[in-house]
């Protein structure tokens, strides 16, 4: 019987709508704090289905100087920016178009690039120029049903990457997973405030694996979140918490 120790803070709420409310108010507070400290804030966004309502609610939060926010991505699929699978398109429609972030402050991961390793290296150069602390001030992340986070998938070498900040991930046709670009553990660990959103019963088991005092990164890449040096907050609904 392994012990579960939640690294960071656990916020359990009734449902997905409550995840959006909790996440948007906490992300907004973290952005305001970063801006008050450094007159700017870096915000990194993930894709998937869970964050959309949180991004829509974040767009309605008051008191955020969006002119001071630089927007980045945690990961991106190897698709054009207007593709429905694009994490950029998700953020553009649910948040960026609603708050009017200046295009120069929207740092899209070029998932459509023909040479993904080169695109990863270019994005890394951008991060090294713009992220003095090596991580984002604020990051919104998720946990896949298979235990992945970002685009660090079980059995992939990326979860052990300690030098590069951005890597490309080859397509996995058997898993119907397109190629990706993703930040790596050094960037995730260097973030100031990470908010992990998880909804639904399918997240219960991967969360238990992420929180277990034993387990491997290869089996459960979201265990990389245990190394976040800033604040780490898990915002989950009852189903993800195994409460029916």
* Spacing of C-alpha 13 from chain mean position: 20
90 makes contact with ligand 6PG (CB under 6 A): no
147 makes contact with ligand 6PG (CB under 6 A): no
Q: Which stretch binds ligand 6PG (CB under 6 A): 18-26, 43-51, 57-65, 158-166?
A: 43-51
Site for ligand 6PG in 47-66 (CB under 6 A): 47-50
Alpha-carbon gap, residue 201 to 210, rounded angstroms: 15
Least Å from the CB of residue 38 to ligand 6PG:
26
Closest by alpha carbon to 57, among 103, 110, 20, 26? 20
87 makes contact with ligand 6PG (CB under 6 A): yes
Whole-number Cα distances in Å, 90 to 33, 38, 44 = 25, 28, 13
Burial class (CB in 10 A: 0-12, 13-18, 19+), 120: buried
Q: What are phi and psi of 52, to 5 degrees?
A: -50, -55
Q: Indicate which single residue of 58, 138, 150, 177 sits in contact with ligand 6PG (rule: CB under 6 A).
A: 150
Q: Which stretch binds ligand 6PG (CB under 6 A): 111-119, 125-133, 136-144, 157-165?
A: 136-144
Instruction: Identify the helix (H) or strand (E) that includes residue 199.
Output: none
Alpha-carbon gap, residue 63 to 55, rounded angstroms: 16
Least Å from the CB of residue 204 to ligand 6PG:
12
46 makes contact with ligand 6PG (CB under 6 A): yes
36 makes contact with ligand 6PG (CB under 6 A): no
Least Å from the CB of residue 127 to ligand 6PG:
16
Q: Indicate which single residue of 135, 144, 158, 185 sits in contact with ligand 6PG (rule: CB under 6 A).
A: 144
75 makes contact with ligand 6PG (CB under 6 A): yes
Site for ligand 6PG in 173-232 (CB under 6 A): none
Q: Which is nearer to ligand 6PG, 35 or 228 (CB)?
A: 228
210 CB contacts (<8 Å, ≥6 apart)?
Answer: 143, 147, 220, 222, 223, 225, 226
Least Å from the CB of residue 62 to ligand 6PG:
26
Task: Decide: 191 and 177 in contact? Cβ < 8 Å.
Answer: no
142 makes contact with ligand 6PG (CB under 6 A): yes
Total number of residues shown for the chain: 244
Residues near ligand 6PG (CB under 6 A) are 46-50, 74-75, 87, 141-144, 149-150
């Amino acid at each position: 019987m392994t012990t579960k120790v939640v690294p960071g803070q656990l916020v359990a709420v009734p449902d997905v709508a409550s995840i959006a409310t909790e996440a948007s108010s906490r992300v907004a507070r973290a952005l305001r704090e970063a801006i008050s400290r450094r007159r700017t804030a870096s915000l990194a966004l993930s894709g998937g289905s869970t964050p959309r309502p949180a991004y829509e609610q974040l767009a309605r939060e008051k008191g955020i100087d969006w002119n001071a926010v630089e927007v980045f991505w945690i990961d991106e699929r190897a698709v054009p920016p207007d593709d429905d699978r694009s994490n950029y398109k998700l953020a553009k429609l649910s948040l960026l178009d609603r708050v009017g972030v200046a295009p120069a402050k929207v740092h899209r991961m070029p998932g459509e690039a023909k040479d993904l390793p080169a695109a990863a290296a270019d994005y890394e150069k951008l991060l090294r120029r713009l992220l003095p602390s090596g991580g984002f001030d604020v990051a919104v992340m998720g946990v896949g049903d298979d235990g992945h986070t970002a685009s660090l998938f079980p059995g992939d070498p990326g979860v052990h990457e300690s030098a590069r900040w951005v890597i490309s991930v080859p397509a996995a046709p058997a898993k119907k997973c397109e190629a990706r670009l993703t930040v790596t553990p050094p960037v995730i660990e260097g973030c100031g405030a990470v908010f992990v959103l998880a909804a639904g019963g399918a997240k219960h088991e991967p969360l238990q694996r992420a929180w277990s005092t034993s387990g491997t990164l290869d089996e459960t890449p979201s265990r990389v979140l245990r190394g976040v040096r800033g604040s780490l907050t898990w915002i989950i609904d009852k189903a993800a918490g195994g409460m029916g």
